[in-house]
Structure 1
Amino acid sequence: MSHISNLRKSYERAELNESASAANPMQQFDQWLKEAIDSEVPEPNAMTVATVSSDLRPSTRVVLIKGYDARGIVWFTNYNSRKGQQLAGNPFAALQFHWVELERVVRIEGRVEKVSDAESDEYFNSRPLDSRIGAWASPQSQVIEGRGTLVANAAKYGAQFLLQPPRPPHWGGYRLVPEQWEFWQGRKSRLHDRLRYRLDGEAAWVRERLAP
């Protein structure tokens, strides 16, 4: 049995303070994400999405961010999936980015809405052909007999749509509209930097430091 309780790491790469951070959390996120990409960390665009079911049980999964702007954070998925069903009943979620090599975490919480059909169509049509066929072939989160089911579905829809599969009606984008952000920077002696941004009213962001 491995002694995971003895694993230790000293966080000493960087710092995060109020004077050097952006007043707007989306600007701070943009800076950190670009630094993660420039640093070539593995899958800098991967994020964990946490949702809650109608019986108040949380669940998480990793998805890829596909866009962000002043309106929020966007990803795409099957609306009939487990997360889609949970968001239909409880349209709030939490996101988390963990860039291990940079000793950084970003947490985002807020309300989730579907993006427009035009946005979903535009992104779907930009995907590789096999990914577009895959959106039709996979009944995401449902029990299937085996991988052969997916292969057979892919062959069926590939033959049906050839090179121009339309976007499935059950597939599209979600946008999380942030209400709270937290930026975490690992520091020595476990005295980590944590800056939280929370909405005060409709559009004013309050920045405050949290104890680690």
Structure 2
Amino acid sequence: MAVIHVVEDDASVRELIRVTLQSGGFDVRAFASGEDFLASHNNEADLILLDIMLPGIDGLAVLKRLQNMGCEIPVILLTARNTEIDKVTGLDMGASDYIAKPFGVLELIARVKAALRRTHKPSDEIQAGIVSLNLSKRKAYVNGLAATLTYKEFEMLHLFMRNEGIVLTRDRFLDKIWGVETGIETRTVDVHIKTLRAKLGAAGKYIKTVRNVGYVFSPAEVE
């Protein structure tokens, strides 16, 4: 669950944002001033919603302090001053986006989700049962021990693990793994699956044959 910190001095707006985001499945912590936020800031948020027109330390000053602290958490500015200079200044200072007041709850959630998508990269590792993949190193492990796979075997296992519990046809493997190569028959898939099962050892049983269709990777049905 993504954690969002909201810095907004208007109690009614702050409550609207809190309720809206919580209903959208987010964990929300709200602050009424820039001072309160900075005093509690611990880099644990996934996203910060920051009002520009705060009493005391305003939003742009808070944003500058965050930048000076080396904070890499994405910040969306909330502004009632719907002028180009405010928006450009905030974006130039490192804000990810801005939302002009008044805003709709659907727009708020959409912009929050978009900001999170831009900043949260897919994990470099995939785990399923006792099998794990390190995508950047192209390494496969079974119970923590390295399994030596060919390029195509690794790609097949990756496809399996991204589609856990979903039946994959032989044609799907040919399309995704062999691509434009010609003269490849579906029997080739069966041969590679047999070898992959053997190399996975105890995890080879995760790969189940679905007669007349293809294969499915189902660790949950084994453990």
If the TM-score is normalised by the length of the shorter chain, which range does it land in? under 0.3
Q: Structure 1 or 2: larger helix share? A: 2
Q: TM-score, normalised by structure 2?
A: 0.21
Q: Structure 1 or 2: larger strand share? A: 1
Q: TM-score, normalised by structure 1?
A: 0.22
Question: Of the two, which has the highest radius of gyration?
Answer: 2
